[in-house]
Copies of this chain bind each other. A is one copy, B any other.
Amino acid sequence: MIQTAEETLARVLVVDDEPNIADVISMALKYNDFTVATAADGNEALEQVSDFRPDLIVLDVMMPGLDGFQVAKRLAERSNDVPILFLTARDTTDDKIRGLTIGGDDYMTKPFSVEELIARIKVILRRSGRSREESPRLTYLDLELDDDTREVFRDGNPIELTDTEFRLLRYLMSNPRRVLSRAQILDHVWEYDFAGDARVLETYVSYLRRKLDKYGPSLIVTVRGVGYALREPKG
């Protein structure tokens, strides 16, 4: 698909030696209107930076050959200040990660949820002024959700949500009125390698309803046999 400058949010280069991960990220980004290129190792990444001229790089730190840190260093030496979202293994030691957030950069630990990845990318682009994207505040009816402060309000009332509840609501709010299948929700909100009981989703919908419905009619409607949607209940 060819996207013109007006249609696309930004150009993102995805660098990961695991094809599965690169694919997951790449598809998620394309679906969110980003223009995407991929590279499977550090050298390819450096080439792509010159050719593709990305606005942001999603960069795995653990790669054979030139690793993510080295790629970042080479770019800095070329005084190329493209912001980077580093991907690290969960057990990467603290001292390796330290320093990664000094500039506009940030990092995420694998495995992550796709929604969280997209959210982080948008934060970085917004801060670096490379995106025309609006404020991080999502609203639907009397619901408001702020990605920076992680605050949620219904009809002006603050609502405390746990991390998973927040991600779930954010996904629903970024697809208002659309019916989302259980599989879609699990794929986007839970970590990409989640292999547990799919019924967690029901539990979390229940949690969310309990917290949100205190201030108005239930907005999460069940579409039996399919999934859930965020919308006004029928008359």
Contacts and interface: CB of A to CB of B under 8 A. Distances in A.
A67 interface: no
Interface residues of A, number: 60
Interface string A196-235: 0010000000000000000000000001111001010011
A112 interface: no
B100 A183 contact: yes
A102 B195 contact: no
A81 B31 CA distance: 10
B235 A81 contact: no
A97 B129 CA distance: 38
Nearest to A152: B234
A154 interface: no
A234 B27 contact: no
The residue among A38, A73, A150, A179 with the most chain B CB atoms within 10 A of its own CB is: A150
Interface in A52-110: 73, 76-77, 79, 81, 94-95, 97-105, 107
A143 interface: no
A225 B163 contact: yes
Given A81-B1, A104-B31, A97 B163 contact: no
Contacts of A114: 102
B98 A179 contact: no
B150 A226 contact: yes
5 contacts: A27-B81, A27-B103, A98-B195, A101-B183, A149-B177
